[in-house]
Amino acid sequence: MSASKFYSGRFELARRAAVAALCAGAIVTVLALPVAAQQQQKGPSEVPVEELMKPVGLPDLAVGPTDAKVTVVEYASMTCGHCAHFTKDVWPEFKKKYVDTGKVRYIFREFPLDNLAAAASMLARCAGGDKAFPLIEVMFEKQQEWAFGEGNPVPRLFEIAKQAGFTQESFDKCLTDQKLLDDITAGRTRASDVFGVQSTPTFYINGKKLDGGPTLDKFDAMIEPLLAKS
């Protein structure tokens, strides 16, 4: 389906977050997403680091030094409640303890579970530069408002996007960027096909999957031994 057809259409999404149709002014073509879940642990427990770090289409959204001893990769969906919990309740301390001290490089990768999540990811990409992560954090913080409210979620997304400097014109342009959506979809497909990612959030610490919920204690248990190595 072409971008223009989606732009004027209405589509049913996989989650209650998008029971409202995405109408004119919404995102481009419907994503053909396989069924995925939040925090359903599947796939191999470890993947080759060199394979994990290979670029696919879009540059990584990353913070922390490139030469850090530990690299944490998160695959997340912007409509995932567990991802929002991590960002709101774990990320601030994790960032202070590991990223701000230069011990860890953290990479955020999109794994949209539905079309609304893809739209939010597109906005973060279009914000770019030093605005991407703050916008991601705000969207997770206000997830219940824009993703789970009644009616069309697009205007609510726009209200949040305005905080990152979007105008109606730049907002619409971003959400009708077919290549951007294709690149995000390619990254999701590779994560699923190559690494077995089937749920969000999924974390890899130097290639090893973090099992269970992403608590700071669990990160400590995996990261500290790696930092202690010479």
How sure is the predictor about 219, in pLDDT bands with cuts at 50, 70 and 90? very high
CA–CA distance, 70 with 73 (Å, rounded to integer): 10
For the chain, give the percent of residues with pLDDT over 90: 75
CA–CA distance, 195 with 103 (Å, rounded to integer): 25
Nearest C-alpha neighbor of 151 from the set 26, 2, 3: 26
- Higher local confidence (pLDDT), 56 or 77: 77
- How many Å from the N-terminal Cα to the C-terminal Cα in the chain? 53
Strand partners, 208: 46, 205
pLDDT digits (tens, 9 = 90+) for 178-209: 999 999 999 999 999 999 999 999 999 999 99
pLDDT digits (tens, 9 = 90+) for 96-142: 999 999 999 999 999 999 999 999 999 999 998 899 999 999 999 99
The answer to whether the beta carbons of residues 112 and 13 sit under 8 Å apart is no
Q: What is the pLDDT of residue 55?
A: 84
CA–CA distance, 210 with 182 (Å, rounded to integer): 28
Task: Say whether pLDDT at 224 is over 90.
Answer: yes
**What residues have CB less than 8 Å from 207, skipping those under 6 apart?**
46, 47, 48, 49, 52
pLDDT digits (tens, 9 = 90+) for 148-181: 988 899 999 999 999 999 999 999 999 999 999 9
Residue written as token pair 């601030």 = 92
How sure is the predictor about 5, in pLDDT bands with cuts at 50, 70 and 90? very low
Q: What is the pLDDT of residue 12?
A: 34
**What residues have CB less than 8 Å from 56, skipping those under 6 apart?**
186, 187, 190
- Higher local confidence (pLDDT), 55 or 228: 228
- Mean residue pLDDT of the chain comes to 86
E strand residue ranges, 81-177: 104-110
Task: Say whether pLDDT at 18 is over 70.
Answer: no
How sure is the predictor about 22, in pLDDT bands with cuts at 50, 70 and 90? very low
Q: What is the pLDDT of residue 27?
A: 52
The answer to whether the beta carbons of residues 26 and 154 sit under 8 Å apart is yes
Residue 197: is it exposed, middle or buried by C-beta count within 10 angstroms (0-12/13-18/19+)? buried
The answer to whether the beta carbons of residues 15 and 113 sit under 8 Å apart is yes
3-228 CATH fold:
Glutaredoxin (3.40.30)
For the chain, give the percent of residues with pLDDT over 70: 81
Q: What is the pLDDT of residue 211?
A: 84
